[in-house]
Structure 1
Amino acid sequence: MNMIWLKLHNIRGYLRIKVNIVRAVWLRLVVQESGRLKSVGKIGLLEGPQYIKIGEGTKFCDGVYLTAWRIKDAPILEIGKNCEFGTSNHITCSNKIKIGNNCLTGKWVTITDNSHGQTIFEDMTKSPLVRKVISKGPVIIDDNVWIGDKATILPSVHIGEGAIVGANSVVSKDVPPYAVVAGNPAKIIKQTKNE
């Protein structure tokens, strides 16, 4: 396994930090798609790149975490074309996350299809670090969705086309197309229809 050393300046001198290249820390990610290499942004953490597909024109601000964990079957983390993800987003998949085209997120957004263990006594007596990672279902986000700062999208959720998720919302149920949701848990505050 290849390693590199980075030197970070602090008040007392230099700190030496060992960085594992496979789990890229603040390195520019280059993704190969259709035989072409392209730069998509600075990634804070990358896990399971072989399970991740990113569409053309998609951009990431600094510090995005993209993780695809193989627990049983191969996970699928698929992001469409011309999306833009804000700083410090965390997209983590052990089952399936599919994000459509032209989606936009604010900063510090979490999209997850998994959790550490279940809310049963046997799991809760163990350290979260040793609990089995489980998925309650895939996350599907259709085209043209806008997700505000600090929103969290939980497992087994389908967000319809053109929907808007308000800042700080926790989405635990499906969102219909062209709806605006907000709150914890997120509720529909406006529903528009194509007439």
Structure 2
Amino acid sequence: MTDNIFFNRADLKHCGSNVIIGKTARIRYPELVSIGDNVIIDDFTYISTQLEVSSFVHISSGCSIIGGRNAMVSFGQFSTLAPNVVLAAGSDDYISGLATPMVAEEFKGDVEIGSIHIGDHCIVGANSTILPNVTLSTGASVGANCLVKHDLEGWCLFAGAPVRRIKQRNAKIILALEQKFRNSK
């Protein structure tokens, strides 16, 4: 497989087997990115932070995973982002600082640099945004057009801006399907 024009695949911290990365995906700091097996990162995705991706993960087109070199985003197995999701593991100070990466730290104000953890079997719907220092526990599912500002409990469906719990997901069925899938290999 050839490298695309936006980064060199050989510069990734780790890249597992059966990984598909779209030709127009952009990874600003490939040396900070680890990708497991059986992962797809679609075209027009932008990544500018530390990233750890487990196996069987799909990051759809147009997603932005941002926060800078000191922030961290991680994905558990069987998790997915729908198109145009923003994971912002870092956030500028819009009240009293200059909000641009092109100025020295002393002029930025109270910048929030943190992490986002997407657990196993999590789904994030199209056009949703997750802010710094948020964990989606195993099985959490976020609908389209949501704003996530706090940790979400596992095996629940959430919707809204900001999100609120809507209903329970069926963990037993989902985990049984995972086991069937693994046994079929």
What's the TM-score bracket when you normalise by the shorter of the two chains? Answer: 0.7 to 0.9
Structure 1 distance, partners of 2:129, 2:53, is 17
Residues 1:177 and 2:154 aligned together = yes
Which whole-Å deviations, capped at 9, do the CAs of 1:23-52 have from their partners, x for residues lacking one? x1xx78565737979543334322111011
Structure 1 distance, partners of 2:73, 2:19, is 22
Change beyond 3 A, Cα 1:42–1:32: farther
TM-score by length of 1: 0.71
Farther off after superposition, 90-99 or 175-184: 90-99
Task: Tell me what 2:89 maps to.
Answer: 113
Percentage identity across aligned positions? 26
Task: Tell me what 1:47 maps to.
Answer: 28
Q: Give the partner amino acid of 1:151.
A: S
Query: What aligned pairs does 1:61-72 form with structure 2 within 5 A after superposition?
Result: 61-68=42-49
Could you say which structure has the higher helix fraction? 2
Task: Tell me what 2:133 maps to.
Answer: 156
Structure 1 distance, partners of 2:134, 2:163, is 12
Partner secondary structure for residue 96 of structure 1:
strand
- How far off its partner does 1:92 sit? 1.2
- How far off its partner does 1:162 sit? 1.0
Partner secondary structure for residue 31 of structure 2:
helix
- How far off its partner does 1:135 sit? 2.9
Change beyond 3 A, Cα 1:40–1:32: farther
TM-score by length of 2: 0.74
CA contact 1:28–1:41 (8 Å) conserved in 2:
no
Structure 1 distance, partners of 2:21, 2:9, is 6
Which whole-Å deviations, capped at 9, do the CAs of 1:101-125 have from their partners, x for residues lacking one? 1111211011111012x243x31xx
CA contact 2:15–2:36 (8 Å) conserved in 1:
no
| 4+ aligned runs moved over 6 Å, structure 1 | 34-37
Structure 1 distance, partners of 2:77, 2:16, is 21
Task: Tell me what 1:143 maps to.
Answer: 120
Query: What aligned pairs does 1:13-162 form with structure 2 within 5 A after superposition?
Result: 24=6, 31=12, 33=14, 39-68=20-49, 76-94=50-68, 95-116=71-92, 118-120=93-95, 122-123=96-97, 126=98, 128-129=99-100, 130=103, 132=108, 134-162=111-139
Partner secondary structure for residue 51 of structure 2:
strand
CA contact 1:139–1:156 (8 Å) conserved in 2:
yes
Change beyond 3 A, Cα 1:146–1:98: same
- Unaligned regions of 5+ residues in structure 2, if any? 173-185
CA contact 1:29–1:41 (8 Å) conserved in 2:
no
Structure 2 distance, partners of 1:35, 1:102, is 15
Which whole-Å deviations, capped at 9, do the CAs of 1:74-130 have from their partners, x for residues lacking one? xx31111111111100111332111111111211011111012x243x31xx4x224
Could you say which structure has the higher strand fraction? 1
